[in-house]
Chains A and B, each alone.
Chain A
């Protein structure tokens, strides 16, 4: 029984120190830092000029009157 417990602890340690776990920890810290940065929840979305893919200018302040989900991305 004692050996089984020891084995469980060892296994848990092994999992925690795996690259996957390290990656998860890094992502968690990144998330925690990010929520503290401006704009924090409750702040207005900064108003800047952006473009449609065909080049039409518009302001981010125009994104009103509905819930909006914004996700940053690119081709890579």
Chain B
């Protein structure tokens, strides 16, 4: 979400005029970004995401949570950050594809009337919190560089009394695999930060098995993650498979086995199943992060400088907008009250890694390694 503080400013001015504001929590736009978040599998998990968003983004605007079938998102045009104004009779009176707080203010001035004193975005100081912290180190296992892939539909087999999905599958395919049935299949098992679990590397590594249709041709139908020296970590376990022929209407059945621990004592041997379909999942978002494509540093900094109204090549507090503003002080590392080109490049680093703004992510960003007993 790009501009929370801008909308918060409008909210503060129009709340007293009876206008109600809501954020709608939907499926993640960019999994793996901003705290290594992954798509929730259950409504309970999505509700936890929304409660975290309340804290992490620090706005006083309340959240509404869309159902797991994304019905509201589908009914309202399927965009990640669209915006609507509905009148007292329940009729849509304004809509835009991307949230634009200045536009909302103008709309409300027309619909409800102007306010006496306008709250400026730069005067809004959100009480932001950091993303959920991984319970063990990241950056231990080399990430897989994926080719250009899109998320495909996969269904986890959720058992009512089963263990939670500590690790969640991200299944992606190259365009050719989706369209022609031949290409590359990415299988990434990402620990869900909300489950607070880490891998137990003292026992057998994560492994998976695929049941494929008779007519399908897969280079491999099983895999085992390489042994990791560190006793625990939270990096994803990733595989890239060559597929020669996957018939369109024949789903794959995947079984994954892994050991995950919560804290030092409670370890689980987990076996979970998924069904994978050879079609694009329009609700799965596009992954961002190591191995999945970052924001380009120079391009990002250049785009930000579009807001440089006085053309001094730097952005002042009144010239920055969106996500950057709440973190302005932390991102202004030389403390001159301005964000220069190099500091703006560091902003993209921060967005890419979502470590604490203004500091490069190091292993110390995660908690120290956890001691484990040899037996899972």
Contact = CB atoms under 8 A, between A and B. Distances in A.
Given A23-B303, A30-B98, A72 B73 contact: yes
B289 to A, nearest CB: 10
Interface in A30-51: 30-31, 33-35, 37-46, 48-51
Given A42-B92, A67-B85, A71-B23, A60 B28 contact: no
A7 to B, nearest CB: 18
A71 B92 contact: no
B93 interface: yes
Interface string A47-76: 011111111000011011111111111111
Nearest to B94: A41
Contacts of A76: 28-31, 33-34, 37, 285, 288
B260 to A, nearest CB: 22
Contact of A69 (B51, B65, B67, B85): B85
A74 B65 contact: no
Interface residues of A, number: 44
B92 A54 contact: no
Contacts of A31: 96-98
Contacts of B79: 34, 72
Given A23-B303, A68-B22, A34 B65 contact: no
B207 interface: no
Contacts of A74: 1, 25-29, 49, 53, 80
How many B residues touch the partner, as a band? Answer: 35 or more
Contact of B97 (A23, A34, A44, A69): A34
Interface stretch (B104-112, B210-218, B226-234): B104-112
Contact of A55 (B47, B81, B111): B47
Given A44-B90, A76-B31, A67 B24 contact: no
Given A63-B20, A73-B26, A48 B75 contact: yes
Interface string B67-86: 10001110111011111111
A41 B99 CA distance: 16
Contacts of B11: 69
A44 B306 CA distance: 37
Interface string B18-55: 11111111111111011101000001100101111110
A1 interface: no
B112 to A, nearest CB: 6
Contacts of B81: 71-73
Interface string B50-67: 111110110001111111
Given A30-B98, A53-B54, A64-B89, A72 B80 contact: yes
Looking at A38, A42, A46, which has the most chain B CB atoms within 10 Å of its CB? A46
A72 B95 contact: no
Contact of B77 (A27, A37, A41, A49): A37
A31 B21 CA distance: 21
A4 to B, nearest CB: 20
A13 interface: no
B137 interface: no
B25 A53 contact: yes
Contacts of A14: none
B312 to A, nearest CB: 18
Contact of A60 (B72, B89, B97): B72
Contacts of B82: 34, 71-72
25 contacts: A19-B299, A34-B79, A39-B95, A43-B91, A44-B91, A49-B67, A50-B24, A51-B67, A55-B44, A64-B90, A66-B19, A67-B18, A67-B111, A68-B86, A69-B108, A70-B86, A71-B23, A71-B82, A72-B26, A73-B53, A73-B57, A73-B99, A75-B49, A75-B53, A76-B28
Interface of B: 1, 4, 7, 10-11, 14, 18-31, 33-35, 37, 43-44, 47, 49-54, 56-57, 61-67, 71-73, 75-77, 79-99, 104, 108, 111-112, 131, 285, 288, 299, 302-303, 306
The 9 closest A-B pairs by CB, nearest first: A34-B97, A46-B75, A73-B1, A76-B30, A53-B50, A51-B65, A76-B33, A68-B86, A67-B19
